[in-house]
Amino acid sequence: MRTYIITGMGRSATTFLSECLIKNGVNMGKKMHGGKNGWTKENIDFMELNRKIYEEAGHEFGIEKMPPTKEKVLKLRDKFKEEAKKIVNKNKDEHWGVKEPRLTSTYPIILPEIFEVDDDPVVYIAIRKPKYIAKSLMEMKGCSYEEGVKTAKEYHR
């Protein structure tokens, strides 16, 4: 088994990495979210779990929104552990993966469950200069440049 995990702030080529894996036979999800442009290629199961975690942590869900802190996520581990385990087991395959930018903040809940099925996953973390992420978010989401830079820096942290 080979598992691929793609994370990093949105607008940092995470979709490009996912597309490369898909074109090489990696199952990145049975149900994929295409977004408004058809491009995001995020596994809906993991995306919805992350939405629940964000909401429970008191954060808005959206790539342009500030992620919850590691401390907040760790407090939710017990609440979401079984759901994460079910989602991993539902999606695992011979060559499978997950691409979800919000894994940068929710990994304390999801990654241990992935390690239960594959103790040697490949993890790709996409990094792009915050100023370019901010410019892209301004065009796509209408957020301010300052807010985009601040959010990108938090995702990188």
**Burial annotation 123-144 (CB, 10 A radius, 16+ → b, else e):** ebbbebebeebbebbeebeebe
In a domain, 151, yes or no: no
Q: Report the pLDDT value the prediction gives residue 2, as an integer from 0 to 100.
A: 95
Instruction: Indicate if the pLDDT at residue 133 is higher than 60.
Output: yes
> Averaged over 105-132, what is the pLDDT?
94
Q: Report the pLDDT value the prediction gives residue 61, as an integer from 0 to 100.
A: 86
In a domain, 78, yes or no: yes
How many of the other CB atoms lie within 10 Å of CB of 156? 16
Domain around 91:
2-129
In a domain, 30, yes or no: yes
Considering its fold, how many domains does the chain have in total? 1
